[in-house]
């Protein structure tokens, strides 16, 4: 892989088909429903950042800005994925930088994220990027049923460059 060909890009509803196919590729059992993606991609508070190799999405991070609600005043990482052929190249951390940048620009107090109990790679990435495990929620996921590990970002500039 030629890292010079990888570009950073923000996509929206116009790229719905490619986004939906990438989600199904990365999460073959538990991908989001088409209507969920369409609704979120049309929402101004949602942002879909990706890394592309040519015209192919190879990684994404999807965030939602919950500013303005008493219960929700944070940035939520909704989805992070890296194409199987591009893993172990530091792209996950590069994607996490987008969430950090959005967080800093929005002046929110925190970033929240969650992952399946079985997704040890994502747990390691969260921890490497300065997140800490806040709670474990039993039966958080279905298809298959599984606990969810809920993380919160702790302010520390040293994790991002």
What pLDDT score does 34 carry?
73
d(CA 56, CA 50): 10
Among 74, 124, 71, 118, CA closest to 99? 74
Range 123-136 average pLDDT: 94
Cis status of the peptide bond prior to 113, with omega within 30 of 0:
no
Report the alpha-carbon distance of residue 48 to residue 102 in Å, rounded. Answer: 11
Instruction: Parse the chain into domains and list their residue ranges.
Output: 3-110
Is the CATH code 3.30.1330.60 the one for domain 3-110? no
| Helical (H) or strand (E) element with 49 | strand 46-53
Q: Number of C-alpha atoms within 13 angstroms, CB side, residue 8?
A: 9
pLDDT score for 30: 73
Closest C-alpha to 79, from 118, 134, 40:
40
Task: Give SS3 for 15.
Answer: helix
- What confidence category does residue 5 fall into, taking pLDDT thresholds of 50, 70 and 90? confident
Q: Is the pLDDT of residue 110 over 80?
A: yes
């Amino acid at each position: 892989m030629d890292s010079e060909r990888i570009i950073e890009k923000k996509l929206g509803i116009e790229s719905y088909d490619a986004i939906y196919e990438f989600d199904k590729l990365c999460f073959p059992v538990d991908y989001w429903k088409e209507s969920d993606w369409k609704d979120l991609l049309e929402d101004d508070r949602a942002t879909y950042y990706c890394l592309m190799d040519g015209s192919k999405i190879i990684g994404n991070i999807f965030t939602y800005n919950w500013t303005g609600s008493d219960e929700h005043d944070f940035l939520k990482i909704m989805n992070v994925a890296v194409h199987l052929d591009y893993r172990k190249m530091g792209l996950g951390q590069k994607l996490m930088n987008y969430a950090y940048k959005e967080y800093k620009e929005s002046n929110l107090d925190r970033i929240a994220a969650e992952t399946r109990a079985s997704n040890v790679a994502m747990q390691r990435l969260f921890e490497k990027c300065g997140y800490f495990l806040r709670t474990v929620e039993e039966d958080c996921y279905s298809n298959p049923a599984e606990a969810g590990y809920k993380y919160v970002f702790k302010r520390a500039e040293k994790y991002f460059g």
